[in-house]
Amino acid sequence: MHLHNLAETNSILNTFIAEMRDVNIQKDTMRFRRNIERTGEILGYELSKSLNFSNKEITTPLGSANSNLISDDIVLCSILRAGVPLHNGLLNYFDNAENAFISAYRHHKDNPESFEIIVEYLACPDLNNKTLILADPMLATGQSMVSTFEALKPFGTPKNIHLVSVIGAQEGVDFVSKHFDTNTHLWIATVDEALNEKGYIVPGLGDAGDLAFGQKLQH
In the complex, what is the shortest distance from the CB of residue 9 to ligand URA, in angstroms, rounded to a whole number? 24
SS3 110: coil
Q: Which of residues 178-207 bind ligand URA (CB under 6 A)?
A: 200-201, 204, 207
Rounded to the nearest 5°, which phi and psi values hold at 162?
Answer: -125, 125
d(CA 172, CA 106): 15
Tell me which of 42, 138, 146, 163 binds ligand URA, using CB under 6 A: 138
Residue 54 vs residues 51, 70, 150: alpha-carbon distances, Å: 10, 6, 31
> Toward ligand URA, which CB reaches closer, 152 or 212?
212
Q: Which of residues 53-82 bind ligand URA (CB under 6 A)?
A: 82
d(CA 87, CA 65): 32
Within 10 A of 29 (CB to CB), how many other CB atoms are there? 13
What H or E segment, with its residue span, contains residue 69? Answer: strand 63-70
28 lies in the site for ligand URA, by CB under 6 A: no
> Toward ligand URA, which CB reaches closer, 123 or 202?
202
In the complex, what is the shortest distance from the CB of residue 15 to ligand URA, in angstroms, rounded to a whole number? 20
Tell me which of 77, 130, 209, 212 binds ligand URA, using CB under 6 A: 209
d(CA 120, CA 9): 38
In the complex, what is the shortest distance from the CB of residue 139 to ligand URA, in angstroms, rounded to a whole number? 8
| Contact residues for ligand URA, defined by CB under 6 A | 82, 138, 140, 200-201, 204, 207-209
